[in-house]
Structure 1
Amino acid sequence: MAHQGRGSGGPRGGPAQGGASVSRGQGGRGGRGGGRINYGPPIVYRPANGIIPRPDSGVEQVEDARQRARQSPSSALGSLTLTNTMPTRPGYGTEGKPMTVFTNYVTLTPDSNLVLYMYDMKGIQPNAVGRKLSQIIRLILNESNELAGYRNDVVSDFKYTLVSRKRFPIKNDRGFIRVAYKSEGEDEPLQHAQTYTVPLRLTKTLTFADLIADLTSTNPAGQGKSKLEFIQGLNILLNHHAKTNDSLVTIGSNKTFVWEDSEDNATDLGQGLKAMRGFITSVRAATNRILVNINVSHAAFYQEGKLTNLIQAFKAQPFGKTASRYELHMFLQRLRIRTSHFPEKRNRHGVVVVRQKTIWGLAQPHDLKRDAPPPAASPPLVSHRGAGPKDVKFWLRDQARSPKRLIGPQQTDAGPGRYISVYDYFKKTYGIETSNNFPVVDVGTEGRPSYLPAEVCIVLPGQNVKSRLSGEQTGKMVSFAVRPPWLNAKSIEEDGFETAGMSRETNPLLDQFRLAIGQSLITVPARLLKEPYVQYLKTNIRVTSGSWNMKGIQFKKGGKLKRWSFLAIQDVAYPPDSDDIRQNHTAVEALTNALRSNGLDGTNHDYIQGQELAIKDRADPELDAKFAIASKRFDLVLIILPGMKKTETFNEEVYDHIKVLGDIKYGIHTVCVIGNKFRQKDPQYLGNVALKFNIKLGGNNQAVEQSRLSFVKEDKTMLVGLDVTHPSPGSLPTAPSLAGMVASVDKDLGQWPATLRIQNSRQEMVSGVGSMLKTHLEHWRSLGKHNSLPDNIIVYRDGVSEGQYDDVLEKELPLLRQACKEMYQAGMEPKLTIIIVGKRHHTRFYPIQDKDMDPKGRGNLKPGTVVDRGITEEGVWDFFLQSHNVLQGTGRPAHYVVVLDEIFCARAKAKKVNAANEVEMLTQALCYTFGRATKAVSICTPAYYADILCERARLYNADLFKGSNGGSSTVASAGGQSLASVKVHERLRNTMFYL
């Protein structure tokens, strides 16, 4: 049976899921709990009017004119930079077959006479945040006397900024607006309503004639002027429509959803959640024009309706499992509800006034003691977290027995009164009998509880989920989100423009502010780069559509494997069939043959008979004991995890713990596989496993043809990948940020040892980057067997947003330079280039002609598609590269931005080559060196490895990052180490343990 291109084996280095696994950026693996929708054969996108626009020739003319001016011998513009160090574009790429593609951008044309005035509102007194702040600004815009004459002239981000097309007549451009607070829907403020004082301060006057002149100028001088305020103003203007439309739901500043449960727009995720399809927009400055980037977006929301229904849905987890009280507590935190036990109130327009409350969590012991000054008199009595109405009692003061009053907040000065249960209070006061099967929720302020039975709470619509989705929900979300490119482009045209406020029929602000937005996607020039050959031991393999066949081929270099064995782990709750045990052994024999045929050194005499082990959970001491023995006997242990759907949570938790035991505590390589997949003995699956074996053991799976690596083939250039991962929603407050660095040790680019650092939570810049680089320079010398340190260092920096480019240069670059100064002789320091790798953007490309579609790519463009003009700024050195074969969904190209260059431009000048071509071709070639797949990956290998490394570090502290009730890290439970001291075992430290 012929091999297909080998996948990465499993997500993020996890257990292998199947032979057809998907490389990064290709949509992920098949969803658990739902199959893919069949959208039919792939087709190309066609606009509704049937007209395919040509790329704007004026854009290309301005791009070329500026480049000629920069490169003129009589001009100093060739060295012009946007900042002190960030290089300008040295030219456009020319390699590859030219073509034209659609992209998810439209033009935005402001009136040349448009002037916008930006006002800052920071310093509101008393302080207000969140929804209250938004309501205050809403009152200012709609009801304040001061802005009565500006109702159609002012928009806001509903945080701290007003944007007006008229200047306010206030002295020195500073003033105040006072507003009495009232809740949404109320006719008048309450009798003693809080009055807020909102300052107004003019911060910027935006004259769009200046911006238009700057963007359309053929003179590159002055192109470094900041356009951020203009872009901010336009984004606020564009998104104001959605934020003031009751039929739309917004997330953050620029995601918009139509709140309707149509089959095409929503899907049930289970456990009380649903997924919605909407759109995300962003205004961008480009050469010769302003553009709006619009893309399909997806998010998870709570199911609205009765809170009791939501609780029941959440508790009914897959395979008969029941959510813990702590999990329910975390699930409900900050959920907004309205109450149903009071008579309905309507305003003068007949609209129901919603009494909103926010759930802090379940009632729990010591609620009042969290921040009450000691001693707290007569605190609530709660038998346990999640107690029902009969088991939650509070102190009812004699003067507070009015049926008009909601329970609490509790007072520290109790006064005369008595304890009463929530059950009795609601029965006597409202005539409502509540069930003790549902928990009491706390809707007070933190530390000052107010209790409500779940039966009187109604979940409000439009609340997005910030916590981590379960595996089952994630699978359903992926199934819902994965759609072919032509369909997403069609959705943007048919629904996106209207939803996102980009249609003048639905958004009157466009006419009021004199903005014209194109109603069709633009086209831009693109090029298709030739795919490189991939090299193995005795042969070169031709790549087709980003993948290649390795059948009968041996690794470029085999690793050293002396002794290994397997451990088949079972969940005691689900014992395996006797046939499974027998099949494990035959599958291991098949794997041994695969390892041998692929050229792993030592596989003729190294296998030791494996064992089965049934455990109840990850903390079972038997698992630790097995690792203690294995670490003294073996180089590597193959772990066979259960293959049943009902053991997925068990698999995930055990997998995390196995990596801690192997990587941290005992220093032994581990490769995990899923039992039911492994036992099928599929050659492709076994081939995926062999890739992991070899690369962990010091081998080199493949190399890319040397001619595509430019000067890297001279063995004087070290490539570095750097990434940072941060706590995600649902992580514990003590979860840190984690930085990971990988680096090559020689020109073959087969081995990339790693270093990890723990740093302050959500700190993006890597404070330990200098010491990390010094470690890798030592690796270059020792592991790479070099007599000298590299002449060049190219850093691919992942995980940095646009607004942080300068931070990289101001904070990380000095540390890198200092490390080099300490490692090199004076005057011999290496040349540095730093390239940012962006993957969280929303730029997409769509083929125009059938011949431009990848035959294996579900309607996407072919691997190697590069775009560096049309949607970019001429003065910024960046490009988009779709390097991979997209197996499902719409492909996302990687965005590369050169923020420092001491290598390519100097070389281009000396060798008379195109620096843009050099960077683009090298970056593409690096996408074919990823050792865990016989596929090109979606971001270049250094950045991808750094990302995987950071994900592995998260596993070491899974309890912190996944929000476990215990709060102790997995590492601590395994090895007794504190978080700050987590280090990879010395036996694995110089290996690729993280793959």
Structure 2
Amino acid sequence: MSGRGYDRYDRRDNYRGRGDYPQEHNTNPGAYHRREREREHERHNPRGQNSGRGRGGGRGGGGRDNEPIRFHDERPDRETQDDVRRVEKGTESKASAESANGRPADKGKDRDSGANRPTVDSLEDNLPLRPGYGTRGNDVELWANYVALNLSKDVVFYRYSLDIEKELDNNRGQSMKTDPKSAPGDVSVGTGKKRPAGMKQAEIIAYLLDDAEELRAGCKNGTLATDYRDILVSTQPLVKLEHKILFVGVRSNYIMEPCRIVLKEPEDIPNPLRMSDLLQYLGSTSRSEAPPIPKNVFSQILNIWLRHFSKSYELGDNSQAVVGSKGYAIDGRTKLPRNHRNHVARVSIGLGIDAVRGYFSSVRLGAGKAWINVNVTHGTFFQPLRLDKWIVESGLNHPSQLARLQEVLKGVRVRLRHRTAEVSGMKKDIIKVISGLATAQDGVPEKDQQRRPEYPPRFGGNAPRIGATCSQAQFYDKDRDRYVTIYDYFYNDFRNQGYNLLFVLLPRDGPELYNLIKAVGDVDVGIHTVCMLESKILKKPQFDQQHWDNILLKANLKCGGVNHKLKFDTSDILSRWRTMVVGLDVTHAAPGARDTSHSIAGMVANVDSQLAQWPATISFQPHESMEIVDDITSFEQLLEPHLKRFAKANSKFPEVLVVYRDGISEGQYDQVVAKEYPRIHEVCDRLYSVARQQPPLISIIIVGKRHHTRFYPRRKSGADNKGNPLPGTIVDRSITSQFLWEFYLQAHEAIQGTARPAHYVVVVDEFFGPTFKDPRNMPRASPPYQNAADVLEGFTHALSYALGRSTRSTGVCTPARLADTVCDRARCYTGAGVAREEVRIADALRDDMFYI
């Protein structure tokens, strides 16, 4: 495998040639643009109003002068490829000598408390060891959007934490001290004030790098980089600094209070951090050769170094926007390469919002090498308009939409610009009166008025009397033909008729009617519903065979049918060990959505070895945005019905639980092991002890979808008609860890665009590694299976074809895909106005796939 970058990148020359800027801009663009804004500010605010203007040169260069890191789009050299092959071969041979890991203990502790968040690199030593590499299938050469990061073993880094303290306030008699490890916006104990956060905190650190002469003198022959939050990285040791500086945030037109910044060496991770230790570990074949510093600290430092320049450019010039690992050129000046002329960097999508093209970049540590993952990404930004014009453009200019406007603009930065002309002291005449305000005479009865007012004529108000009367009044019973609600329609006309499936024809596409039908059918009445759009059924000139096939596949699954059976080599896993495959996912309300209900967990599991029926359970999390299911009550609601259902169909509880966990980021792997894994055992131990069965063997595999890894075949023979790798492509070497059990699987054929593979990481393994270490347990196939990696990869690939409503493979394996569908269906219930306490699937549907 070879890494490929999208564009040639050189830190020293990347931003040169953009307009006619002086040499100062080319050497330090951030400081140049900030000084220009300060000069403009002083022209309107003479000395005496705002003082303490920043001075001095650059912010440490970010690797531009003494540059230890450069990367290009060249394929790796022969030495790099040999190193990767050597590490892969050595790891595979070493796997038999090291344990494949049983039930983990004392997991989930991040060894580096100073890191922003845990990563997969920080957890690698606690996760199951890779039992080897996959051997089955045909070899194929692929490009990956990874760029080799050539590190020098002589490079040494020093990491410091930035402690920001607000100067003592004599009026209030208290000071504010900020904890760099706390989240932005946290209030320090006993102070009652908030710590500097966001852009304000970043600008404080930017002025520190620009103006602190002692800091520049201490790193005279080295370079500095920072994340503009709480970490400073240097290539030379720095003495402890404690100095008092007055900061003025001129680019935002506010004055910052005096702050004092103290550099502290972290107590948990001693300096220095040598790249030679990291390179030795990446090239090793045993975990015992781990470096004295956790790997995640090295990847954190390299990421800080990688993003420092773009973040410093953002602070000095509004043409850049950096959001986490993503950078965007928001000024429209960025020119795309010639082979991208059909693409645009920024385009309006309406409602005052633009879609902007950017790039994602992150350092990844692989087998024998460090890589930079680079991928094209897109973000949405508010158009840089005057606020009143933006409100008109967004369509939120009606008085009834003020609440929605306030919700949309929450957190948006608005720059206030004053006119320079003097305003006289004359009072302004009232030229507009707000209608609708009550006066003293409003609502007073007419008899209390001195004069009878003349009202304008109303329609029908002066109609003449016709003298007609009704001598024999009769009343119409409206209950017979009254307006029928959806609930009454289901409850009265179908519930008692013995129907269990309804085909519903919808007049229009939209969530309101669809959510209501699903809520009434699944929760209130207990009838399966299949919704169809009228435009696709009645208005099409020709019969759409594929559309009707999909509808009938859904209907058959809802009724408990079997659409197809899979025949695959690893199918004996399901029969020899009574295996239950579980899919678990947690969904949250979309950002900015009005539905503020709590997070929803959904779980599916098979009932037999046919993998045809996947009943589901739903549980509402006790808190919002709660990705981890650590409540025992929630796990009892989710897992216990599946175990009892499996025991009813197979006479015994399952011997093996294979859990595919979706919706988890790399920083939460340890929480799955430390919180969810024990809860699964608690539920199983209680049920199995009553049935006098041994607890099951549990394996948990994380399914990752929101990553930025992409693959491209080097030859047409290994590509489909859209230029993507053929379905069934597996990548488990080169860019992956030599120790962590992970692999990428592209099981599907993308309908359009670049196919995104699924990323699978084993975090708990009690079954695959220990069981298939014995060759006698291997599935019987030709060519033979060599190790547990072959078995898991083949089993996961087969599960990608088990989705009953489709005759094609899916991007992620069926359990994870269906768990995500269950969460979406649960969101329909709350969207229809059903309280989460009242969401309880009807008894008639619990054992069926009501959500499909």
TM-score (norm 1): 0.62
The equivalent residue for 1:333 is 410
8 Å CA contact 1:724–1:799 kept in 2: the answer is: yes
> CA separation in 1, counterparts of 2:384 and 2:198?
21
1:132 counterpart = 2:196: no
Q: Is the 8 A contact 1:181 1:194 kept in 2?
A: yes
Deviation sequence 1:567-607 (CA, Å, 0-9, x none): xxxxxxxxxxxxxxxxxxxxxxxxxxxxxxxxxxxxxxxxx
Matches within 5 A, 1:602-621: none
Whole-Å separation in 2 of the counterparts to 1:76 and 1:240: 40
User: Hey, what does 1:234 align to over in structure 2?
Assistant: 302
Check the 8 A contact 2:568/2:798 in 1, yes or no. Answer: no
Q: Pick from 631, 638, 643 the counterpart of residue 777 of structure 1.
A: 643
Partner in structure 2 of residue 100 of structure 1? 141
Out of 297, 300, 312, the residue aligned to residue 244 of structure 1 is 312
Q: State the SS of the aligned residue for 2:248.
A: coil
Report the equivalent of 2:491. 628
After the TM superposition, which residues 756-775 of structure 1 pair with which residues of structure 2 at under 5 Å, given as runs? Answer: 756-759=618-621, 760-766=623-629, 767=631, 768-775=634-641
Alignment partner, residue 745 of structure 2:
881
Distance 1:53 1:925, change over 3 A: farther
Quick one: distance in 1 between partners of 2:128 and 2:288?
A: 14
Q: Deviations over 1:806-857 (max 9, x none)?
A: 21111111111111111114561111111110111111000111111113xx
Q: Deviations over 1:708-730 (max 9, x none)?
A: 42412447100000111123311
Partner of 2:574: 712
Matches within 5 A, 1:562-577: none
Paired with 1:91 and 1:701, the residues of 2 have a C-alpha distance of 36
The corresponding residue for 2:372 is 292
Residues 403 and 625 of structure 1, relative CA distance in 2, 3 Å threshold: farther
The question of 1:798 aligning with 2:668 is answered no
Q: Equivalents in 1 of 2:260, 2:92: separation in Å?
A: 52
Q: Which residue of 2 aligns with 1:110?
A: 151
Question: Shift of the alpha carbon at 1:77?
Answer: 5.8
Given that residues 584 and 602 in structure 2 are in contact (C-alpha distance below 8 angstroms), is that contact kept between their aligned partners in structure 1? Answer: yes
Q: CA deviation at 1:322?
A: 11
Aligned in 2, Cα 1:434/1:182: closer, same or farther, shift over 3 Å?
farther
Q: How does 1:242-321 map to 2 (within 5 A)?
A: 242-245=310-313, 246=317, 248-261=319-332, 264-315=344-395
Q: For residues 258 and 229 of structure 1, what CA distance do their matches in structure 2 show?
A: 29
Query: Pairwise mapping of residues 478-489 of structure 1 onto structure 2 (< 5 A)?
Result: none
Which stretch of structure 1 is more off in the superposition, 202-211 or 894-903? 202-211
**Deviation per residue, 1:392-439 (Å, 9 max, x gap):** xxxxxxxxxx9599xxxxxxxxxxxxxxxxxx98x67xxx999999xx
User: Given the alignment, which residue of 507, 524, 533 partners 1:665?
Assistant: 524
- The answer as to 2:600 corresponding to 1:738 is yes
| C-alpha displacement of 1:89 | 0.3
Match for 1:183 among 249, 259, 283? 249
Q: Is the alpha carbon distance of 1:694 and 1:827 closer, same or farther for their aligned partners in structure 2, counting shifts above 3 Å?
A: closer
Task: Decide which structure has the larger Cα Rg and report it.
Answer: 2
Contact preservation (8 Å) 2:519, 2:829? yes
SS in 1 for 2:773: helix
Instruction: Identify if the C-alpha distance between structure 1 residues 132 and 84 changes in structure 2 by more than 3 Å, giving closer, same or farther.
Output: closer
How far did 1:309 drift? 2.5
SS at match of 1:326: helix
If the length of structure 2 is used for normalisation, what is the TM-score?
0.71
Amino acid at match of 1:757: S
RMSD, aligned α-carbons: 3.1
| In the alignment, structure 1 residue 168 sits paired with structure 2 residue 34 | no
Count residues in correspondence.
Answer: 651
Choose the corresponding residue for 2:503, options 614, 629, 638: 638
The 1:868–1:665 alpha-carbon spacing in structure 2 relative to 1, beyond 3 Å, is: same
Higher relative contact order (CA 8 A, sep 6+): 1
Q: What is the distance in 2 between the residues matched to 1:92 and 1:934? A: 30
Residue 799 (structure 2) pairs with residue 926 (structure 1) = yes
1:121 aligns to what? 162
| Matching of residue 696 in structure 1 with residue 696 in structure 2 | no
Equivalent in the alignment of 2:209: 141
Secondary structure of 1:197's aligned partner? strand
1:742 aligns to what SS in structure 2?
A: strand
Task: Indicate conservation of the 8 Å contact 2:303/2:362, yes or no.
Answer: yes
1:43-122 alignment runs, 5 A limit: 56-71=81-96, 75-76=97-98, 86-122=127-163
* Cα 1:323/1:53, change in 2 over 3 Å: farther
- C-alpha distance in structure 1 between counterparts of 2:760 and 2:258, whole Å: 49
Checking the alignment, whether the CA contact within 8 Å between 1:737 and 1:763 is kept in structure 2 is yes
Counterpart contact for 1:750–1:929, Cα < 8 Å? yes
The Cα shift of 1:991 comes to 1.5
Shift of 1:699: 1.2
Deviation at 1:623, TM superposition (A): 2.2
Match of 2:244, SS state, is: strand
User: In 2 relative to 1, CA 322–280 (structure 1 residues): closer, same or farther, beyond 3 Å?
Assistant: farther
Contact 1:640 1:674 in 2 (8 A): yes
| Structure 1 gaps, min length 5 | 1-46, 345-401, 406-423, 438-613, 959-969, 973-977
**How far does residue 252 in structure 1 lie from its aligned partner after superposition?**
2.6
Aligned residue in 2 for 1:854: 720
2:580–2:654 Cα contact (<8 Å) kept: yes
Given candidates 757, 771, 774, the residue that maps to 1:910 is 774
Q: Distance in 1 between matches of 2:287 and 2:303?
A: 26
Pair 176,902 (structure 1): closer, same or farther in 2 beyond 3 Å: same
Instruction: Kindly indicate whether the alpha-carbon contact (under 8 Å) linking 2:580 and 2:657 is maintained by their aligned counterparts in 1.
Output: yes
SS at match of 1:240: helix
1:845 to 711, 718, 723: 711
Q: Cα–Cα, structure 1 residues 178 and 735, in superposed 2: closer, same or farther, change >3 Å? A: farther
Distance 1:743 1:121, change over 3 A: same
Shift of 1:624: 2.4
- State how far apart, in whole Å, the 1-side matches of 2:658 and 2:526 are: 30
Contact 1:659–1:955, Cα closer than 8 Å, also in 2: yes
Aligned partner of residue 283 in structure 1, secondary structure: strand
Looking at secondary structure, tell me which structure has more strand per residue: 1
1: CA distance, partners of 2:92 / 2:568: 31
- Unmatched 5+ stretches in structure 2: 1-70, 105-122, 167-175, 177-194, 336-342, 436-480, 779-786
For residue 78 of structure 1, report the CA deviation from its aligned partner: 6.0
Contact in 2 for aligned 1:276/1:301 (Cα 8 Å):
yes
Look up the SS of the partner of 1:881 in the other structure. strand
* Per-residue Cα deviation, 1:754-813 (whole angstroms, up to 9, x for no partner): 11111111222112224422221001022xx21111111100011111121121111111
Q: 1:353 is matched with which residue? A: none
